[in-house]
Structure 1
Amino acid sequence: MRSSSRWVRWLVPAVLVVAWLAIGGTLGPYAGKLGEVATNDQAAFLPRSAESTRVLEERRAFEQSESVPAIIVWQTPDSGSVTDAQQQDATRAVASLAGEPGVAGQPSPALRSRDGQALQAVVPLAPDLGDELPAALDEVRAAADSVPGLSARIAGPAATQADLADAFSGIDGLLLGVALGAVLLILLLVYRSLLLPLVIIMSSVFALGLACAVVYVLADRGIVRVDGQVQGILSILVIGAATDYALLLAARFREELAARGDRAAAALAAVRRSAGAITASAATVALGLLALLASDLTNNRALGPVGAIGIVCSVLATLTFLPAVLALLGRAAFWPATPQPGDAAAEGHKVWHRIAAVIDRTPRRVWASTTLLLLVLAAFSPSLSSGGVPLDEIFVKDAPSVSAQKALGRHFPGGSGQPAVIIADASRAADVQAAVRTTEGVASAVPRTASGRPGDGEPLAVDGRIRIDATLEAAADSDDAKRTIADLRTRLHAVPEADAIVGGYTAQRYDTEQTAARDRSVIVPVVLGIILLILVLLLRSFLAPVLLVATVALNFLATLGVSALVFEHLLGFSGTDASVPLYGFVFLVALGVDYNIFLMSRVREESLVHGVRQGVLRGLTATGGVITSAGVVLAATFAALMVIPLAFLVQIAFIVAFGVLLDTLVVRSLLVPALVIDIGPRSWWPGNLARASRTTPAGIRQPGGKPHQ
């Protein structure tokens, strides 16, 4: 029997390790294949119920073929005037592109700017070129460069799509390499062990491979949507979360190994004692992400299930593969810093003993000063603009499409190439056109005609509807342009029986901004409610969970305040993407509660034996090192998003990385322990711990009374 039991103790870990090696070998390549089912077509991620989305659907009836415009802008090198001969040469050059591969229709003739110093022409490209888009743009560029005496650039949606594809190129290898390299370096420095960091990295990579395979299958069947941003966040989220959970389990295994000496028993005890905290932490993140399904923005909805899948895979790898490897390796996993029976290191680093002593002496001063600091930082949060990132700030580095758009804006109305699109009832065409042309901020308005080009012939009516393209005076991504869209809608909605709707690039940005504000008002309370419920169930109290949720919410506001200052004064951003505050909230609040769960679940465990005050001090010293390490690792992994030169991901990276560090080093290390010590057993109200005195451990029988539980 004893021999049989011994075989089972080693057979189960061995089978788990072999199973995960098979999963890693089979599914690992999917981390690099996810881009095959990803789309970076931003039109696919518009608000589902917005007016601009309705326009996008109706406008297709007025197009002879679907296309993505590439806008050529020619300039004279010495600010001189464009000659008639140069205009004719430009028109012939773009006309020669008709029928070329990738060109979907007849290019427009070259039009001269009001100042006479530039020309522009529109070349319609097929919308489904994919990897062939750069080659098609090269053909357009070659034709544009053939005009003597003029310099040519390419702007418009087609050029922007190409620059986005270039920004996301190599995302699989580059982002993963930077994130894993940062994690490995931190783990080597913190744990001074050669094997344990590699085991933890392997666990994270296996979790990522499994998550990417599941997402790939779902995306390939159209069940979930993936774009470059979601793809990058998934990689970072899985690596960061899996590493965090692994660090918590490995730290508990080290404690149990020092206390028990038997590696199989230590691994089993580590799983048993850390599984509750890990699964509760994962549930807060996964359910917080799934709350994004309440969003009306499709890219937000896409991140919800994809991120939740990643978290589930992270927990699965942590609770199966990692303990199996640790059970087989034992103390060798920590070599050369091998723990021995009774090792004092398992009881907490002396730095954390000193921090705990300071909190114990003056808890009220500690929580009051840290709260004041967070409130001061949070005071700057209203200055963070979430009205969208201007076109010239979308890319962190200067992109060809951005410089071309700037050149276009210097010579033509700001909205050139990105008109507002109005669809209305044909019977009210005259009234609708009059309302559009008299709206302040509209430079010109022409109906789409049978020729397929605005203003060339009689207006085209399709199913009783007409289309009008209105060029705005202001730049298409400016606040003035958004105000013009709002005014247009007000005036057109007042035209009787016109059923007029306004869309186009500026309207899409406006609708996205309005929808994002609505999403925040709906999703933020949902996420807070989910987290509060999980904490109440885990800690079996109400007051402590409320305090924890309040502290992470304050940490989020403080992070937004710092971000507002950094983005404007250091990084030069005039605003953030409309979804950035919501993403930042979901990640920071859910991940911030993670560390509080790790701390408070251990505090509760210790308080049941040693009393609330000693429970807090023991819990802090026992978890301080591992939670701080986990916070630094998670911050480093999210910071890796900065290698992708897009403002959205750089902003998300900073908010999460800084917020996690602030939460780890200030909120969890100082504010929460000081609050619980100062409030005392009442912080665990209405649980049994609330009835324990400051000096009497729970579970010890009082004279003449029942034992506390």
Structure 2
Amino acid sequence: MPWVLLGLWVAVLALAGPFAGKLGDVQRDRAVDYLPANADSTQVAKIQERLPGGETTELVLVYHRDGGLTAADRGTAADQVAALDARTKLVDTPQGVPSQDGSTLMYPVASTGPGTDEELRDTFVNDVRDVIKAPDGAAGDGLSVEVGGSGALATDASEVYTSLDGPLLYTTVAVVAVLLILIYRSPLLWLVPLVVAGVANFLSMGVAYGLNQAFGTTVSGQSSGIMTILVFGAGTDYALLIVSRYREELRRVERPYDAMVAALRGCGPAVVASSGTVAAGLFCLLAADLNSSRGMGPLGAVGVLCALVAMLTLLPALLVVLGRRVFWPLVPAFGSEAKKRKSLFQSMGSSAGRRPRTVLAAGAVLLAALALGAFALPGNLKQEDSFTSKPDSIAAMETLAAAYPERGTQPISVIAPTDRADKALADARAVPGVDGAERGRSSGQWTEISVVAKGAPQSAAETATLERLRDRLDPQGAYVGGPSAEQLDLKDTNRRDMRVVVPIVLAAVLLILVVLLRALVAPLLLLLAVVAVWGASLGIAGLVFGPVFGFEGTDPGLGLLSFCFLVALGVDYGIFLMHRMREECLAGAETGPAALTALRTTGGVIASAGLVLAATFAVLTNMPLVQLVELGFVIAVGVLLDTFLVRTYLVTSASLALGRKVWWPGPLSKAPALPPAPEADAPELVRAP
């Protein structure tokens, strides 16, 4: 049987190989791939793609010299812009706009050449940078020339996402490998789960490509990176549980095959239930209106399910084929007993058992106090604050913000029906806060209008202008978009998605837990615990994001994504613990001793799994995008809190305090029937003399 499974996996990989290699070809990181599905800004981006020439790429060339630009500087700028106009397809002849202090000159430029192709857009941006940074165009020391605007920001972000795949995968593999070596203390055993996780990741890439081709599932750099993290993190967790149970069975069962069958019968339901919970929680993201969140759900679920299939089939087959020697030098001999030594988790269980209510109350107060830190989270993340380093586009925006505080430097795009374009243009010019508006490209149905606000990009003044524009132009059937409008829609849509998706996730996870544990109180206890962990994790983030990391804002999607991941992944460990506790209760143990036995037997495995999962998500904190750093930090902290505080102390203490009530209304909540009393008229036995 093991060899048959290995043969099947070879065939599966041969089939998945061609598709896995194409996943990068369908990865898209355009604004429309992240924007809300039904928002104004999304409609603008889609319609712009269909206008003559395709979607517009807008840039701003920024010339700056401290102390003021010289005549030679302005001449250099004019020459470079003329050379750019001759080399590339620009919408209009650019006109320079000097700052009031004379230190800066900006040239808004736009091209319709790139259309919807990211590679062509990036080529245009890089061509512009080549022209203005050419050696023969230098004007001497002190003149800085930068390329900003939405097109440059998109190109820089795309380059970051494209560069994530390799470093993210290698770093994740290295972190998991080191942790497995430390956990297993074996020169060979650590390699088996790691290889299986790599195979699962390869399979998930093929399946993700198939979903994209069959259903149009959005594949972005963010979602594919999270999928890799989940495959290695969750997959290694399942491997740790299976290997630990297999080691136990090898001491009781002689043949490795029979020991593996017994191990899978014992822990298989918990592994299947935990992975099903994670997958169900992530699939709930399909209810989100935000494209990036909705696309991440299926890809994350695919990663978890591929990891599950690999760990339940390929991992057991490899372990059985390799036999007991895979555990060398700590080989579990048949008939041997594991060393009896008091573990850390036995000590923790004993301390919780002495005063369970006190421990439970203290832990609840601690989590509530930590959650208060969420009020200190910085405001919404702006585009210029979304990189951990400072690319050229961000430097340009900072220069513009300082030199032009009195006006907008980033146009607002309005798309109006062509037969009402003149009315829309007049209304736009009459909106308070608008500095100017010009008619742009037109097709038979739609006309583009470029609006410049008086307020700086993503400032309160510009936001108010955007809202007034939408109110004024809505009767004309016009859409208001552009980079600032996109950020506004992201914030509003994330707020809507929180209200819709969170209840769905809670209901789905609760239903799975009720079916698995045959109770209502225990599932509610686990759900309450993971929600408390989520709140505490955001609170810790609020205490460190600004003061320690120096982040100027919080990604609008952080709350929803961290909630889905922490609830789904956190319940994993609760399932491992509660499932073992239920086994002990079914075998006749009281709830208190069963809880302590479950903690003693699974505590080490849960701790190892938590460390691995936290470490894999912590890999994201080394990435160059603030939103990935924030997401990785919150999930890693949440997993550690769940592993070492909530799962070990609080859930165990609550189980001890509730006793059999934790299984209400299931059969385990009822006291066992007392043995029948002896009959009153039974004859008394008389001892013989």
Tell me, yes or no, whether TM beats 0.5.
yes
| 437, 447, 452: which one aligns with 1:471 | 452
Q: Which residue of 1 aligns with 2:42?
A: 53
Q: Which residue of 2 aligns with 1:201?
A: 194
Q: Which residue of 1 aligns with 2:438?
A: 447
Q: Which residue of 1 aligns with 2:27?
A: 38
What is the alpha-carbon distance in structure 1 between the residues aligned to residue 581 and residue 191 of structure 2? 30
What is the alpha-carbon distance in structure 2 between the residues aligned to residue 584 and residue 46 of structure 1? 19
Aligned ranges 1:584-663 → 2 under 5 Å: 584-609=562-587, 610-663=589-642
Amino acid paired to 1:372: V
Asked if the contact 2:52–2:443 (Cα under 8 Å) also holds between the matched residues in 1, the reply is no
C-alpha deviation, 1:314, in angstroms: 0.8
Q: Which residue of 2 aligns with 1:520?
A: 498
C-alpha deviation, 1:325, in angstroms: 1.6
| 546, 553, 561: which one aligns with 1:568 | 546
C-alpha deviation, 1:217, in angstroms: 2.9
Q: Which residue of 2 aligns with 1:93?
A: 80
Q: Which residue of 1 aligns with 2:531?
A: 553
How many correspondences in the alignment?
669
C-alpha deviation, 1:427, in angstroms: 7.2
Alignment of 1:111 onto 2:102: no
Structure-2 change in CA distance of 1:345 and 1:399 (3 Å): farther
Aligned ranges 1:347-426 → 2 under 5 Å: 350-385=343-378, 388-412=380-404, 416-424=408-416
Aligned ranges 1:223-234 → 2 under 5 Å: 223-234=216-227
C-alpha deviation, 1:231, in angstroms: 1.1
- What are the ranges of 5 or more consecutive residues in structure 2 without an aligned counterpart? 678-689
What is the alpha-carbon distance in structure 1 between the residues aligned to residue 408 and residue 226 of structure 2? 34
C-alpha deviation, 1:416, in angstroms: 4.2
Alignment of 1:301 onto 2:294: yes
What is the alpha-carbon distance in structure 1 between the residues aligned to residue 510 and residue 54 of structure 2? 52
C-alpha deviation, 1:374, in angstroms: 0.5
Secondary structure in structure 2 of the residue aligned to 1:164: helix
Q: Deviations over 1:314-335 (max 9, x none)?
A: 1100110111122222321211
Q: Which residue of 1 aligns with 2:114?
A: 126
Mean alpha-carbon deviation: is it higher for 58-67 or for 529-538?
58-67
Structure-2 change in CA distance of 1:702 and 1:99 (3 Å): farther
What is the alpha-carbon distance in structure 1 between the residues aligned to residue 299 and residue 388 of structure 2? 26
Q: Which residue of 1 aligns with 2:674?
A: 702
Secondary structure in structure 2 of the residue aligned to 1:367: helix
C-alpha deviation, 1:336, in angstroms: 1.1
What is the alpha-carbon distance in structure 1 between the residues aligned to residue 156 and residue 301 of structure 2? 30
| 482, 488, 502: which one aligns with 2:469 | 488
Aligned ranges 1:180-199 → 2 under 5 Å: 180-199=173-192
C-alpha deviation, 1:667, in angstroms: 0.6
Amino acid paired to 1:115: D
What is the alpha-carbon distance in structure 2 between the residues aligned to residue 349 and residue 297 of structure 1? 50
Structure-2 change in CA distance of 1:105 and 1:222 (3 Å): farther
Identity across aligned pairs (percent)? 38
What is the alpha-carbon distance in structure 1 between the residues aligned to residue 460 and residue 578 of structure 2? 46
Give RMSD over aligned pairs: 2.6
Alignment of 1:664 onto 2:643: yes
C-alpha deviation, 1:48, in angstroms: 1.7
Alignment of 1:263 onto 2:244: no
Secondary structure in structure 2 of the residue aligned to 1:115: coil
Asked if the contact 1:414–1:472 (Cα under 8 Å) also holds between the matched residues in 2, the reply is no
C-alpha deviation, 1:557, in angstroms: 0.6
Secondary structure in structure 1 of the residue aligned to 2:457: coil
What is the alpha-carbon distance in structure 2 between the residues aligned to residue 253 and residue 382 of structure 1? 46
Amino acid paired to 1:70: L
Secondary structure in structure 2 of the residue aligned to 1:379: helix
Q: Deviations over 1:544-564 (max 9, x none)?
A: 111110111111111111111
C-alpha deviation, 1:186, in angstroms: 1.0
Q: Which residue of 2 aligns with 1:456?
A: none
Alignment of 1:533 onto 2:522: no
C-alpha deviation, 1:23, in angstroms: 4.2
What is the alpha-carbon distance in structure 2 between the residues aligned to residue 347 and residue 668 of structure 1? 23
Structure-2 change in CA distance of 1:349 and 1:528 (3 Å): farther
Mean alpha-carbon deviation: is it higher for 289-298 or for 606-615?
606-615
Structure-2 change in CA distance of 1:448 and 1:531 (3 Å): same
What is the alpha-carbon distance in structure 1 between the residues aligned to residue 119 and residue 340 of structure 2? 56
| 127, 141, 155: which one aligns with 1:139 | 127
Amino acid paired to 2:100: R
What is the alpha-carbon distance in structure 2 between the residues aligned to residue 133 and residue 511 of structure 1? 24
Q: Deviations over 1:670-693 (max 9, x none)?
A: 10010011110011101111113x
| 59, 68, 77: which one aligns with 2:57 | 68
Asked if the contact 2:244–2:605 (Cα under 8 Å) also holds between the matched residues in 1, the reply is yes
What is the alpha-carbon distance in structure 2 between the residues aligned to residue 287 and residue 168 of structure 1? 27
Asked if the contact 1:413–1:471 (Cα under 8 Å) also holds between the matched residues in 2, the reply is no
Secondary structure in structure 2 of the residue aligned to 1:468: strand
Amino acid paired to 1:446: A
Amino acid paired to 1:93: Q
Asked if the contact 1:65–1:105 (Cα under 8 Å) also holds between the matched residues in 2, the reply is no
Secondary structure in structure 1 of the residue aligned to 2:476: coil
Amino acid paired to 1:111: V
Alignment of 1:684 onto 2:663: yes
Asked if the contact 1:94–1:108 (Cα under 8 Å) also holds between the matched residues in 2, the reply is yes
Q: Deviations over 1:552-584 (max 9, x none)?
A: 111111111111111121111232211111110
Amino acid paired to 2:590: G
What is the alpha-carbon distance in structure 2 between the residues aligned to residue 307 and residue 418 of structure 1? 35
Amino acid paired to 1:703: P
Q: Deviations over 1:17-56 (max 9, x none)?
A: 2433454576468666522220111223221211222333
What is the alpha-carbon distance in structure 1 between the residues aligned to residue 517 and residue 51 of structure 2? 60
Amino acid paired to 1:620: L
Structure-2 change in CA distance of 1:20 and 1:423 (3 Å): closer
Secondary structure in structure 1 of the residue aligned to 2:59: strand
Q: Deviations over 1:653-704 (max 9, x none)?
A: 0011010000000010110010011110011101111113xxxxx6xx6313
Secondary structure in structure 1 of the residue aligned to 2:77: helix
Q: Deviations over 1:189-242 (max 9, x none)?
A: 122122221001011111111111111233245621111111110100111111
What is the alpha-carbon distance in structure 2 between the residues aligned to residue 514 and residue 134 of structure 1? 29
Q: Deviations over 1:514-570 (max 9, x none)?
A: 111111101000000001000000000111111110111111111111111111211
Q: Deviations over 1:119-163 (max 9, x none)?
A: 222142524554465554443234324163543111112222222
C-alpha deviation, 1:618, in angstroms: 0.7
What is the alpha-carbon distance in structure 1 between the residues aligned to residue 43 and residue 597 of structure 2? 59
Asked if the contact 1:91–1:109 (Cα under 8 Å) also holds between the matched residues in 2, the reply is no
Structure-2 change in CA distance of 1:424 and 1:23 (3 Å): closer
Alignment of 1:148 onto 2:129: no
What is the alpha-carbon distance in structure 1 between the residues aligned to residue 281 and residue 31 of structure 2? 24
Structure-2 change in CA distance of 1:69 and 1:221 (3 Å): farther
Asked if the contact 1:347–1:621 (Cα under 8 Å) also holds between the matched residues in 2, the reply is no
Structure-2 change in CA distance of 1:612 and 1:119 (3 Å): same
What is the alpha-carbon distance in structure 1 between the residues aligned to residue 170 and residue 130 of structure 2? 36
Q: Which residue of 2 aligns with 1:14?
A: 3
Secondary structure in structure 1 of the residue aligned to 2:390: coil
Q: Which residue of 2 aligns with 1:217?
A: 210
Q: Which residue of 1 aligns with 2:684?
A: none
